[in-house]
Amino acid sequence: EAGVVQSPRYKIIEKKQPVAFWCNPISGHNTLYWYRQNLGQGPELLIRYENEEAVDDSQLPKDRFSAERLKGVDSTLKIQPAELGDSAVYLCASSISGGAWETQYFGPGTRLLVL
Amino acid sequence: DQQVKQNSPSLSVQEGRISILNCDYTNSMFDYFLWYKKYPAEGPTFLISISSIKDKNEDGRFTVFLNKSAKHLSLHIVPSQPGDSAVYFCAAGNAGNNRKLIWGLGTSLAVNP
């Protein structure tokens, strides 16, 4: 079974430029998460989707971040414009909803460096 | 305010010995706890979990203990192997709170041959 796929793996941009990250979850997983992980920290949830619906985006900085999950499968996270403080690893995870708790499966992440 | 705390940034053990990683939490509403392992340049990998109705869960070499009164959980790895060298994250959540996981800062484990 293929795992969560993310691209690109690395991205270097200058501040004020836009950037986008793509995620393909595990087949059949209807819940998708975007996390940001800063160096030396644990992952911080940005947004969670149940199918196409964003059910928790309370931590997403909406002035510059946007996300979409068309057709309830792939998802894209965008930053426009990027700031120096956005340098981090952006992780995508997926799970199957329905049980008391779902195990989240993570992709390898996209490492973003904003210069 | 760090609701999930892993107070040891690093731990070093000899191959074959026991590794004990600790995690403390402050929110008594957490009802589910998970441990993830992370290798460099990879995403976290689920290791083991425990619900608040249990005090122990075992999976092979990995055992998680939960002490609700002390708001403390620990991960035991016996015997430790060099391939266990990674960063271990403790995470906690509440099924009724949008199932949001709160993560600790991680503990870097080095298992020496």
Taking only the tens place, the pLDDT of each residue in A83-96 is 999 999 999 999 98
Can you tell me the distance from the alpha carbon of A109 to that of B26, in angstroms, rounded to the nearest whole number?
Answer: 29
Taking only the tens place, the pLDDT of each residue in B58-107 is 999 999 999 999 999 999 999 999 999 999 999 999 877 567 889 999 99
Contact between residue A19 and residue A13 where contact means Cβ atoms under 8 Å apart: yes
Average pLDDT taken over every residue of chain B: 94
**Token couple for A3:** 């795992």
Q: Within a 13 Å sphere around the CA of B99, how many CA atoms are in the beta-carbon half?
A: 18
Containing H/E element for B63? Answer: strand B62-67
B48 in contact with A, Cβ within 8 Å? no
A1 confidence band (pLDDT: 50, 70, 90) = low
- Between A100, A103, A107, which is nearest B43 by CB? A107
- Between A45, A100, A107, which is nearest B100 by CB? A45
**Chain A to chain B, count of Cβ pairs less than 8 Å apart?**
55
Tell how far CA B85 is from the center of its chain: 14
